[in-house]
Amino acid sequence: MAVKRKKIGSAGRLGAGYGKIKQKLIAVERKQRVKQECPFCKGHVKRKVKSIWNCVKCKREFASGAYHLKNQKTKK
């Protein structure tokens, strides 16, 4: 019988013993993979360090969420 793979996505690299924290990790990492958009010029934004973001296009540096930009979808 084939073993069913759980739908834990990127958290699959973690072994046993992480339990519920995996669900939280998936939520964070899914957002991380979405393209981050600059709130000033809609350009591409890269994360410099935790919560410091740097826009490639307008070269602005600003603070936002640690792993993804805040208010990405609510701004529309």
- Choosing from 11, 38, 53, 68, the residue that interacts with Zn ion (CB under 5 A) is 38
If you ran DSSP here, which 8-state letter would residue 38 be given? -
If one asks whether residue 37 binds Zn ion (CB under 5 A), the answer comes out as no
Please state, in angstroms and rounded to a whole number, the distance separating the CA atoms of residues 76 and 69. Answer: 14
Binds Zn ion (CB under 5 A): choice among 33, 48, 57, 70: 57
Which one of residues 25, 41, 51, 65 is an interface residue with Zn ion (CB under 5 A)?
Answer: 41
Q: Are 45 and 36 in contact (CB under 8 A)?
A: yes
**Span of 8-16, 20-28, 43-51, 64-72 interacting with Zn ion by CB under 5 A:** 43-51
The tally of CA atoms less than 13 A away on the side-chain side of residue 48 is 11
